[in-house]
Homo-oligomer: A and B are copies of this chain.
Amino acid sequence: MPRWEPDTRERLVRAALDLFTEQGYDNTTVAEIAERAGLTKSTFFRHFPDKREVLAAGQDTLCRLLADGIAAAPSAATPLEAVAAALDAAAGAFTPGRRDLGPKVEAVIAANSELQERDALKRVGLAAAMTDALQKRGVPDPAASLAAELGVLAFKRAHARWADPANQQELGELARQSLHELQVASAALS
């Protein structure tokens, strides 16, 4: 028995990413993804409505982790400290065993406008989840929206660095670092 057995969803994500990388997103069918994963098309459709959604896998989990991270931050935490806690919580889902997915995801998205669109929508979802969680802590708008946008920007920048095979840092550490850089930059904007 293998020490680590990826679950069905992850097998589909890996198969899709490999095919998108090898032959392009447009040229890849759901049937091919299922076959590569050693699964049936109907199993694919139990997990994803279409091939585009494969790249947004984990959005719900990420939203939940971000929201829970904000809710669990100490009551004295500032909005940005709460966002930092959220990024730490979300980074926990990006385990070392999944690090090889990072560069593939970045490359596949960069090569296809339909996936860039889905990725943009995902970021909007993450920002909304954080805004909502911050508001529940009593952070008023626009501070809540702004802190959430900073969080999303930090996470995006951190993920790009994490996806660089030359980088050895953990995603959570990179996210905190990116958030700090944004704070410093923010002070010099006006």
Contact = CB atoms under 8 A, between A and B. Distances in A.
A107 to B, nearest CB: 18
B149 A149 contact: yes
Contacts of A149: 149, 153
Q: Which bucket holds chain A's interface residue count?
A: 20 to 34
A167 to B, nearest CB: 17
A138 interface: no
Contacts of A186: 146, 186, 189
B146 A153 contact: yes
Interface of A, secondary structure class, is helix
Taking the full assembly, how many copies of this chain does it contain?
A: 2
A127 to B, nearest CB: 10
Contacts of A189: 78-80, 143, 146-147, 150, 183, 186
Interface string A152-168: 01000100000000000
A190 B81 contact: yes
Interface stretch (A19-27, A33-41, A85-93, A117-125): A117-125
A11 to B, nearest CB: 27
